[in-house]
Structure 1
Amino acid sequence: MKNKFYDYCDVMPMENLKEMIEKKAALMPQMTAFVYPCETGEMKKTYLDLKEDVDAFGAWMYSKKIKDKHVAIVGENSYEWLIVYLATVNGGNAAVAIDKGLPEEEIASLAKMGDVDVAFISGTYYEKNKKVAKKCYNLKDFDDFLSEGRKLLKDGAEEFLNYEIDNEKTATILFTSGTSGVSKGVELTNHNIAYEIVHTSMLFEPKGGVLAVLPFHHAFGLVVGILMVINYGQPIYINKSLKYVKKNMEEFGPQTMFLVPLFVEFFHKQIWSEIGKRGATKAFKGLMKSTDIMLKAGIDVRKKTYGTIQKVFGGNLEYIICGGAALDPMYVKEFRSWGIEILNGYGATECSPCTAVNRPYFRKDGSVGHLVPGIEVKTTEDGEIAFKGELVMKGYYKNPEATADALIDGWYHTGDLGYVDEDNFIYLTGRKKNLIILSNGENISPEELEQDIARDSAVKEVLVYDEAGKIVAEVFPEEDHLGNTAYFEKLKNKVNKGRPLYKQITRIKLRDEEFIKNATMKIVRYKNIPK
């Protein structure tokens, strides 16, 4: 199929998550919704199971007077986490999702910021966080809560079942990652989330199972990686820990994965490292050129030629939807050569989160995707990308000043610099707040330099910033290049070659530990740049 516009995917309409769960249970009751590891091996849950579990947990919550409350969820990715979330939202409460990996005092601070009344905490994190709310429940008792809820329903408790969703009410509070400042609580309504699911799904539809690895407390991991897939009606395998990702891919064989760039970069380096160990780098690059030429001629031999690479991902992987941070187009092209299409996307928590994504047969390398149908995009006079539409947040919780700064006449100002082409594909050039402004008045986007440096196989992580009027690149090298100043001096000269003097890196600093990162593995600039 030619790379051009084609009709949007047919998507099941719905107004809120309660309606979505009810429709799925009615239309495909015995189809698998979730698969996840358990003590006895593997547990499968159908769409009917999902609805019945949500209803039972919701009935139990109502019996405990958890109505019209702010409910925190703290814990690792799990089926239990999702049931608590769906029962909370479908019962008219607001779910406050908090990163379990944060320090205890920060979890407590976010709970206080979100006016949390009740908290559900996984067994692993319960003891450390059992005072974040007036009432805290340990999710190790999940089965008991569910059992009590089922009994309540059997005895005629119908209040939860009969609750009518107010689509304009806050359903979820998600905290921004805070890569350049203090976190804020993003309020998303039932309608925001439903609109996002329906309209973003019009651009892409998986045709098989999905492995969920991104954290559920993050908008991309929850709304796109879970809720959207439920609406598609495809099975989801829940990865409970990143150390099991490789094992889960081999066992489940996903057709689609939703990832952030760090995963893509890691897999890419691992693949080339294995090829390098065999002394086959040059030959393999030649092979890739040959199969690329054949593909352009309509002959696709990628599955047969690169079966060993595809086997790493379970043998069935066709698509990686990548978002959360910028991704070098080089990765897109090389994964395509191996028979795996990376569809780059873009968004923000404040937009529920997805606003653009490349499509399987309508894509542009270097772009962050085609605009989600039904919303508007523009660039401001100073080149900032802004969005308007029904997926834009209600505001920042109890923070009218920050809300007024971000929402201007209904337009959400992203802080990202870029442009939109004639086909409504969005391109990013940098981050407004990250711009390095030199004394000669020149503006430099550090992301441009970081991308060029990160392409080198010896670089694991890099951060570019201004230090006393000079451009500095701080690098965390791969293990076999730690402390190798001579190598990185040569790399600096290579990156600087052909650049205007004002865009050249003055110095490369080497570090011996990773940068501080947030939940989606973005480097947190303000915590890493020397004061």
Structure 2
Amino acid sequence: MDPEAIADRTTLGVFFRQAAKYGDRALIHYRDGDAWQVESWDAMRGHVLAVASALIEGGVKSGDSVILLSENRLEWLYCDLGIQAAGAITVPIYPNTPPEVANTIAADSRAVMAIASNASMAAKLTVAGPLRAVAVMDREVPGWIVKGPTQHAELTSRLSRLRPDDLCTIVYTAGTTGVPKGVELAHRNLVDVSRAAVKVHPITDEDRSLSWLPYAHVYGRINEIFVGLVYGGQTWISRGADHLAEELQEVKPTIMCSVPRVYEKMYAAVMARVQEAGAARRAIFDWAVRIGTRFSRTASPGPILSAQRRLADRLVLASLRNRLTGGRLRFFVSGGAGLAREIEEFFWAIGIPILNGWGLTETSSGVCSNTLYEHRFLTVGKPFPGVELKIADDGEILVKGPGNMRGYHNKPEATAEVMKDGWFYTGDIGAIDGDGFLKITDRKKSLFKTAGGKYIAPQQLEHALLSDPLVQRSVIVGEGRPYVTALVVPDWDAARKQGMDEAAVKARIQQTVDRVNERLGQWETIKYFTLLPHDFSEADGELSLKQDVKRKVVAEHFQDQIEAMYTGKSKPS
């Protein structure tokens, strides 16, 4: 098969060209028992073709939809590319998706086949209507791999007919509304966005990344996996968030994508250790971080500050970087949610840049990002090459770029609401500064007015509260109310380890609220807060599949606690 016969702006055109270039070089590292195993470019190429052959033999035609329902694993990756190599459309579904939602997605996409991780995942799908069969990665797929590629002529024909504008994947996103919408992304969307990212970030085929974000979401699938295919690096598939600390030491990645919650936990762990240290060690740590902060904010550090930074590195910062990331990490990329100011500044101070970026499923993830060369705190950076931004009269951010979706599957009215004259109406509120850096304020739907008619951007306040490592989650309340309040979920486990009872936790959170309030206008200050005994849960409908808070559900479930903050039954903050 000649890779040059496949259109360059398709996912398969990229993959097969890179596979021909790198051959037996390592591509993916995955855990099998206690040891890391390696999948080379050549092996991945063979597995992709074997899966595509099996799908063709199973009756899958070009343009058909095929569901992929699995946790992150090696098979996910070559099944995804195998579906596309057969000319079909990948429809990824989160492994924690309830059966009724999974079947709604199957029906809407008119999927003819599904590939599930195991029997319990397969049981979520009902074989009916267009859906003819569900294959299992632990059962049928190994047989496909042993059999190998068989449909050479048909595969060559289908791949040669593939075009950049052809539909590559339908990614269903429910957000916090619970109603799934299928985002249609063409091959060129994934390719163009990934190439734009490689242009602005200094990444090469010598880089290595640790991948843990769910592949059912565009953030992990594009930024961790497909961008890696574009630059030719090596990727280690993590066993999940609970194993990241151990795997960072083992893998020693040079780059890594993640979400703010991971950075918040890393920061909290460091602060907890510092609190346990003696007064002298705490003083040295605080001095080193202060020097690191000054150094990271100075464009051209002088000889004295540079010398102080080298000393801080020897005494504290170098060993801290090794302990947190393995010592080789050049930068983190953060996305998926807002990043608290204290967290971003701390990591830059210790010599681990976090490059905050922003994108949506409807824009193929990437819209803009800070880079090592162009960075501004509290922003999500400048647009990627080829991306235009515009701020509407009401503050909504509009995007026109290579990642913009074709539309919502089977929902022309919903598409027309957000796609106008080539601009995607993101639903996010923000501002562009004089140098072109974008700052996100909040989701348009999250903004609310108090009884006094003042607009409140709750996410800004929630992110500010997260600067305290003891705050696990918070929800700002106050729509139509006389003042703003907060529901706060403390990290009770961390508090117990520090010997703190409920009164001590409340006092600590009070200090955080006071610190946050100092930076706010009087109308947006948090007047009361209530501590909750446990975090919100997906099972109770309080979190979306992406773990975003469903504000209306939370307000209903905690109505009594909220009312108490407006009827004088809570003490003021």
**Which TM-score applies when normalising by structure 1?**
0.91
Unaligned runs of 5+ in 2: 1-6, 538-542, 560-573
Partner of 1:412: 424
Residue by residue over 1:335-394, the C-alpha shift from the partner in whole angstroms, topping out at 9 and shown as x without a partner, is: 112111111111100001110011111111111011011121100011111001231000
Of residues 442-451 and 375-384 in structure 1, the stretch that sits farther from structure 2 once superposed is 442-451
Q: After the TM superposition, which residues 269-280 of structure 1 pair with which residues of structure 2 at under 5 Å, given as runs?
A: 269-279=268-278, 280=281
- Alpha-carbon distance in 2 for matches of 1:487, 1:40: 41
Does the CA contact (< 8 Å) of 1:476 and 1:514 recur in 2? Answer: yes
SS in structure 2 at match of 1:529: helix
Q: After the TM superposition, which residues 101-500 of structure 1 pair with which residues of structure 2 at under 5 Å, given as runs?
A: 101-123=96-118, 125-126=120-121, 128-131=123-126, 133-141=131-139, 142-150=141-149, 152=150, 157-163=152-158, 164-207=161-204, 208-279=207-278, 280-293=281-294, 296-297=301-302, 298-299=306-307, 301=310, 304=314, 305-311=316-322, 312-466=324-478, 469=481, 470-479=483-492, 480=495, 483-484=502-503, 485-489=506-510, 491-497=512-518, 499-500=520-521
- Alpha-carbon distance in 2 for matches of 1:496, 1:359: 31
- Alpha-carbon distance in 1 for matches of 2:22, 2:202: 17
- Of 40, 43, 65, which aligns to 1:70? 65
Provide the aligned C-alpha RMSD in A: 2.2
Query: How many percent of aligned residue pairs carry the same amino acid?
Result: 25
SS in structure 1 at match of 2:445: helix
SS in structure 1 at match of 2:394: coil
Residue by residue over 1:236-281, the C-alpha shift from the partner in whole angstroms, topping out at 9 and shown as x without a partner, is: 0011332222222111110011001111111111111112122444
Q: Give the deviation of 1:466 after TM superposition.
A: 2.1
Partner of 1:506: 527
- Alpha-carbon distance in 2 for matches of 1:515, 1:282: 37
- Alpha-carbon distance in 2 for matches of 1:70, 1:120: 11
| Cα distance change, pair 250–114 in 1 and its aligned pair in 2 (3 A) | same
SS in structure 1 at match of 2:549: coil
- Alpha-carbon distance in 1 for matches of 2:86, 2:208: 29
Unaligned runs of 5+ in 1: 1-12
Residue by residue over 1:299-322, the C-alpha shift from the partner in whole angstroms, topping out at 9 and shown as x without a partner, is: 553664423322232221121011
AA aligned to 1:359 is: T
Does the CA contact (< 8 Å) of 2:30 and 2:238 recur in 1? Answer: yes
- Alpha-carbon distance in 2 for matches of 1:482, 1:162: 68
Does the CA contact (< 8 Å) of 1:482 and 1:512 recur in 2? Answer: no
- Of 20, 29, 35, which aligns to 1:35? 29
- Alpha-carbon distance in 1 for matches of 2:29, 2:370: 28
Does the CA contact (< 8 Å) of 1:272 and 1:281 recur in 2? Answer: no
Does the CA contact (< 8 Å) of 1:206 and 1:255 recur in 2? Answer: no
Partner of 2:14: 20
Does the CA contact (< 8 Å) of 1:197 and 1:227 recur in 2? Answer: yes
Does the CA contact (< 8 Å) of 1:179 and 1:526 recur in 2? Answer: no
- Of 68, 79, 98, which aligns to 2:93? 98
Number of positions where the alignment pairs a residue of Structure 1 with one of Structure 2: 515
Q: Give the deviation of 1:292 after TM superposition.
A: 4.5
- Alpha-carbon distance in 2 for matches of 1:103, 1:192: 29
Q: Give the deviation of 1:170 after TM superposition.
A: 1.4
Partner of 1:9: none
Partner of 1:48: 42
- Alpha-carbon distance in 2 for matches of 1:327, 1:281: 25
Of residues 509-518 and 86-95 in structure 1, the stretch that sits farther from structure 2 once superposed is 509-518
Q: Give the deviation of 1:330 after TM superposition.
A: 2.1
Q: Give the deviation of 1:42 after TM superposition.
A: 2.1
| Cα distance change, pair 88–283 in 1 and its aligned pair in 2 (3 A) | same
Partner of 1:82: 77
Q: After the TM superposition, which residues 3-18 of structure 1 pair with which residues of structure 2 at under 5 Å, given as runs?
A: 14-18=8-12
- Alpha-carbon distance in 2 for matches of 1:272, 1:257: 22
- Alpha-carbon distance in 2 for matches of 1:44, 1:465: 49
| Cα distance change, pair 292–443 in 1 and its aligned pair in 2 (3 A) | closer
Does the CA contact (< 8 Å) of 1:388 and 1:411 recur in 2? Answer: yes
- Alpha-carbon distance in 2 for matches of 1:249, 1:124: 31
- Alpha-carbon distance in 1 for matches of 2:411, 2:47: 35
Q: Give the deviation of 1:490 after TM superposition.
A: 5.1
Q: Give the deviation of 1:180 after TM superposition.
A: 4.5
SS in structure 2 at match of 1:393: coil
- Alpha-carbon distance in 1 for matches of 2:234, 2:97: 30
- Alpha-carbon distance in 1 for matches of 2:546, 2:321: 25
| Cα distance change, pair 491–363 in 1 and its aligned pair in 2 (3 A) | closer
- Alpha-carbon distance in 2 for matches of 1:356, 1:320: 15
- Alpha-carbon distance in 2 for matches of 1:511, 1:75: 33
Does the CA contact (< 8 Å) of 1:218 and 1:519 recur in 2? Answer: no
Q: Give the deviation of 1:31 after TM superposition.
A: 2.0
Does the CA contact (< 8 Å) of 1:197 and 1:228 recur in 2? Answer: yes
- Alpha-carbon distance in 2 for matches of 1:25, 1:499: 54
- Alpha-carbon distance in 1 for matches of 2:226, 2:553: 32
Tell me, yes or no, if structure 1 residue 515 matches structure 2 residue 536: yes
Does the CA contact (< 8 Å) of 1:430 and 1:447 recur in 2? Answer: yes
AA aligned to 2:180 is: S
Does the CA contact (< 8 Å) of 1:60 and 1:146 recur in 2? Answer: no
Residue by residue over 1:102-149, the C-alpha shift from the partner in whole angstroms, topping out at 9 and shown as x without a partner, is: 222222222223222211100164353242643101110222111223
- Alpha-carbon distance in 1 for matches of 2:317, 2:362: 39
SS in structure 1 at match of 2:273: helix
- Alpha-carbon distance in 2 for matches of 1:19, 1:482: 59
